[in-house]
């Protein structure tokens, strides 16, 4: 039995959704291919095939048969195109204006037509337009109509009435238009390319007692990688030895470096600014956190929004509509040049580019700032959302308890009470024990050495300290009264109480709470300003704890929920027609995040579950990213709507003027590239979002 394989094939020359559709159809027709995705953003096809019946060469032949190119050296091809664009683009606008003014308004084209033989003009048109005509003929043989098909008919119409100079200028401007479209698509892909360029290429690995340089994606799990000052960390892993200041901006978007040492995790593509490290590899290459982020950004365009699907459908109908307008123009006006102008002015690619160009720019730029958005579909839904559901632990809160109150009884000194509790908890692994020890350490309190230590599951700990029997734990362990007035406010505040008993007498009480993230209140206020009025806390915590936290934020809550309960709540809102966002930590909330219209995972860096389950992953634990991602979504959809409106109005006006004979073929050809430039200028704003 033959196992199918998935390969990636670079494809150059794609400008819009129509191009990707042609490539997809050509590859799908190859025997042995079972599935194909063509990605405009990264200029490649992802193909699933039977390696016995199909191979890379067969795919390349199919792509080239469709009029596109499979480069041997993709980076060299990309650099060459970039250089050619940079050399030509500056003079193209001047050339267009000169040709239009000199040729149409000053009569230069008529002068050329009258003085040069028609065969000379025909040869010039054929030579200048050969790449275009070649693609049109190949598409016609496959029974396909492409954007250049109608423009070619317009050129033929101009030639038939003896306007070969006009036809030649139209051909030149068609070629210029191709450059503009490629430049527009390439510019939108720049954020994605910049992200991919951050991927580490080399790693220094300890093998057989020596340090050797190897490709980063060839490092195996468990191998030790050496990172020197100023070098990029090439793998995900755990620090074995060394200290370093690490800049993780490539992963989290946070420019402030963090101090790292033995036992701490580091991520591929982060930078060791100061210090050196020895890192034990856990993941490398495409399996690293950075590799997975890049892969998900590459795949983001396959998740098309409703607006993009609508634009794609309209593009499929646009060329027949233009052909109909041209036929009607000929029937009513009997003017071949007007027909040629109608066919030339139509901008089908601009309609198809209106949505994906903005989406690519936005998704790529957001990923560079620690916001992973898995496609235009989720951007559109975020922009329309009106309900926000929030998990508590690890999302609204830091996910680790902190000591908040020390309440001594019977005249005991507060520091002495904290010393007793921290010493008794010295060998406990409970999260509350960590909080007590951290508080004592912060105050410089010395620990006593416990004897006869005993951990009592569900109750607390017991030991002997300086000859006294000390117990620290719940009310059930020490039998403390619950009606103490001084403890009531702590309980009402949703805090967890630890009772400290010495020699069978209650010495005092410690209160701990999972602290609220400091930026949450301000972030929620911004979310409300963005139009999301229904905000609700969903948690599995006790009612008293949830109520206290929700009250402090001024939002409703539901407590003691199981994962299935959260899913039911989400479905209830959706049944009422709401667009629902849920924010969780991406681990225990994975089922609910998948059920949401948009699930947002907080602090997803390094978490496979969070990266897979959520539709949007915030790669650092910062609530300020929540209103930011909402603003990005709304701004993106505003740009998309403006792109679509501009192209629709422009095409309508252009077709009307051409049909009425007001817009001659030369001006129509010059005008054909303006919508692409308009889309580029408008969408480029998304690359510079603040």
Q: Burial, 24: exposed, middle or buried (Cβ in 10 Å; 0-12, 13-18, 19+)?
A: middle
- The rounded Cα 317 to chain-centroid distance in angstroms is 30
Is 391 considered catalytic here?
Answer: yes
Alpha helices of 242-334 — where are they, by DSSP H?
249-252, 289-299, 306-333
Q: Please list the residues that pair with 685 across neighbouring strands.
A: none
Q: Are 46 and 36 in contact (CB under 8 A)?
A: yes
Is 664:678 a contact under the CB 8 Å cutoff?
Answer: no
Region label for 616, one of left (φ > 0), alpha (ψ between -120 and 50) or beta (otherwise): beta
Q: Which residue in 302, 317, 303 sits closest to 352, CA to CA? A: 317
Number of H helices, E strands in the chain: 27, 23
- Phi and psi dihedrals of 37, rounded to 5? -120, 130
- Give yes or no for a contact between 162 and 118, defined as CB atoms under 8 angstroms apart: yes
Rounded distance between C-alpha atoms, residue 22 and residue 15, angstroms: 11
Chain centroid to CA 177:
30
| 630 backbone dihedrals φ, ψ, rounded to 5° | -65, -40
Phi, psi for 10 (deg, rounded to 5): -65, 140
Do 158 and 121 contact (CB within 8 A), yes or no? no
| Beta pairing, strands 258-260 & 387-390 | unpaired
Cβ–Cβ under 8 Å, residues 305 and 267: no
Q: Which residues pair with 49 in a beta bridge?
A: 5, 33
Find, among 678, 686, 685, the residue nearest to 649 by Cα: 678
Helix, strand, coil percent values for the chain (each to nearest 5):
55, 20, 25
Tell me whether strands 496-502 and 271-284 are parallel, antiparallel or unpaired: unpaired
The one catalytic residue among 236, 391, 597, 621 = 391
Chain centroid, CA 483 distance in Å: 53
In whole angstroms, how far apart are CA 152 and each of 256, 338, 373, 438?
56, 14, 40, 76
Cβ(255)–Cβ(249) under 8 Å? yes
The residues with which 538 forms a beta bridge, in sequence order, are 558
Q: How many angstroms separate the first and last alpha carbons of the chain?
A: 54
Catalytically active residues are 391
């Amino acid at each position: 039995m033959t196992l199918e394989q998935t390969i990636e094939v670079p494809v150059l020359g794609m400008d819009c959704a129509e191009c990707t559709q042609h490539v997809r159809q050509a590859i799908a027709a190859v025997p042995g291919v079972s599935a194909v995705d063509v990605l405009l953003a990264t200029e490649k096809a992802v193909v699933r095939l039977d390696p016995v019946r199909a191979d890379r060469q067969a795919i390349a032949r199919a792509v080239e048969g469709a009029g596109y190119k499979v480069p041997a050296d993709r980076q060299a091809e990309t650099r060459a195109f970039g250089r050619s664009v940079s050399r030509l683009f500056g003079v193209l606008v001047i050339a267009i204006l000169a040709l239009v003014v000199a040729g149409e308004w000053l009569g230069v084209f008529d002068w050329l037509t009258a003085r040069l033989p028609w065969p000379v003009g025909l040869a010039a048109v054929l030579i200048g337009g050969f790449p275009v005509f070649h693609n049109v003929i190949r598409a016609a043989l496959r029974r396909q109509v492409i954007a250049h098909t109608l423009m070619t008919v317009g050129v033929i119409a101009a030639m038939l009435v003896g306007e070969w100079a006009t036809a030649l200028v139209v051909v030149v401007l068609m070629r210029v238009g191709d450059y503009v479209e490629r430049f527009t698509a390439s510019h939108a892909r720049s954020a994605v390319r910049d992200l991919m360029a951050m991927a580490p290429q080399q790693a220094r690995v300890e093998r057989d007692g020596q340090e050797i340089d190897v490709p980063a994606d060839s490092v195996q799990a468990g191998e030790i990688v050496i990172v020197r000052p100023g070098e990029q960390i090439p793998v995900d892993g755990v620090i074995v030895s060394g200290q370093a200041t690490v800049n993780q901006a490539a992963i989290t978007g946070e420019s402030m470096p963090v101090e790292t040492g033995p036992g701490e995790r580091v991520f591929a593509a982060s930078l060791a600014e100061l210090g050196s490290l020895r890192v034990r590899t856990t993941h490398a290459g495409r399996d690293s956190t950075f590799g997975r982020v890049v892969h998900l950004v590459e795949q983001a365009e396959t998740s098309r929004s409703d607006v993009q699907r609508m634009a794609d459908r309209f593009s499929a109908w646009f060329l027949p509509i233009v052909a109909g307008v041209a036929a009607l123009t000929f029937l009513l006006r009997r003017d071949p040049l007007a027909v040629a102008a109608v066919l030339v002015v139509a901008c089908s690619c601009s309609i198809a580019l209106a949505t994906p160009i903005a989406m690519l720019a936005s998704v790529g730029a957001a990923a560079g700032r620690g916001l992973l958005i898995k496609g235009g579909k989720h951007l559109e839904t975020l922009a329309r959302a009106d309900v926000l559901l929030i998990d508590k632990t690890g999302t609204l809160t830091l996910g680790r308890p902190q000591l908040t109150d020390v309440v001594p009884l019977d005249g005991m000194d507060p520091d002495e009470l904290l010393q007793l509790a921290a010493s008794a908890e010295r060998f406990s692994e409970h999260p509350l024990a960590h909080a007590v020890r951290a508080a004592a350490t912060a105050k410089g309190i010395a620990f006593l050495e416990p004897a006869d230590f005993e951990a009592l599951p569900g109750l607390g700990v017991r030991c002997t300290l300086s000859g006294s029997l000390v117990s620290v734990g719940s009310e059930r362990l020490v039998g403390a009264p619950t009606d103490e007035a001084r403890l009531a406010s702590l309980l009402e505040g949703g805090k967890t109480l630890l009772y400290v008993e010495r020699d069978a007498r209650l010495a005092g009480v410690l209160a701990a709470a999972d602290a609220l993230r400091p930026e949450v209140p301000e972030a929620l206020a911004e979310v409300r300003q963005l139009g999301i009025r229904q905000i609700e806390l969903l948690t599995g915590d006790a009612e008293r704890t949830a109520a206290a936290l929700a009250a402090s934020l001024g939002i409703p809550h539901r407590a003691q929920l199981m994962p299935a309960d959260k899913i039911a709540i989400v479905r209830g809102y959706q049944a009422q027609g709401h667009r629902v966002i849920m924010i969780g930590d991406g681990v225990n909330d994975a089922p609910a995040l998948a059920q949401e219209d948009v699930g947002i995972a907080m602090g997803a860096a390094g978490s496979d579950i969070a990266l897979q389950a959520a539709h949007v992953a915030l790669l650092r634990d910062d609530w300020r990213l929540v209103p930011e991602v909402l603003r990005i979504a709304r701004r993106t959809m505003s740009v998309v709507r403006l792109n679509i409106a501009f192209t629709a109005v422009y095409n309508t006006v252009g077709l009307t003027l051409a049909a009425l004979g007001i817009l001659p073929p030369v001006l129509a050809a010059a005008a054909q590239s303006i919508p692409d430039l308009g889309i580029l200028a408008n969408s480029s704003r998304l690359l510079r979002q603040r």
